Amino acid sequence: MRRYVLDSYAMIAYLEDEPGADRVAQVLRQLIQGKVKGFMSVVNWGEVYYNTMTEQGVDEAERVILQLDKCPIQIVGNKRDGSVFLTRERRFDRVRSCQEWQG
């Protein structure tokens, strides 16, 4: 079975209908149909949340994440809740957040 690793750039392109959105939509359809497997790192998941939150607010970020959670994408890593906490507390810098996720 073909596997895809989705990063934050791909998901943001899809969410904001930027160039490449059609290709990401095609992969998401294949995921939903069970034809392929998809993976995303918890750091990229956090970046999608952060980008949406800073541009459109917390409510929209929560809506986006709920939609993302419905997709059969395996989130690789742990402490996803920590990603949301760090983002909301505006302490989301890559060095600090990576250190806290590893802790």
Any idea what the CATH number is for the domain that residue 38 is in? 3.40.50.1010
| Residue predicted with more confidence, 96 or 56 | 56
Question: 3-5 and 73-76: which strand pairing?
Answer: unpaired
- Average pLDDT over every residue of 8-36: 93
Please give the full DSSP string across 55-84, using - where no structure is assigned.
HH-HHHHHHHHHHHHHS-EEEESS-HHHHH
Quick one: which of 17, 19, 14, 20 has its CA closest to 71? 14
CA distances from 21 to 5, 18, 50 (A): 15, 6, 19
Whole-structure pTM value: 0.72
Per-residue tokens: 52: 């949406």
Edge-to-edge strand list for the sheet holding 37-41: 3-5, 37-41, 73-76
Q: Is the pLDDT of residue 101 over 50?
A: no
- In which domain, by residue range, is 94 found? 3-102
Whether the predicted pLDDT of 43 surpasses 80? yes
What is the number of structural domains in the chain? 1
Among 16, 3, 89, 4, CA closest to 46: 89
pLDDT-derived band at 103 (thresholds 50, 70, 90) equals very low
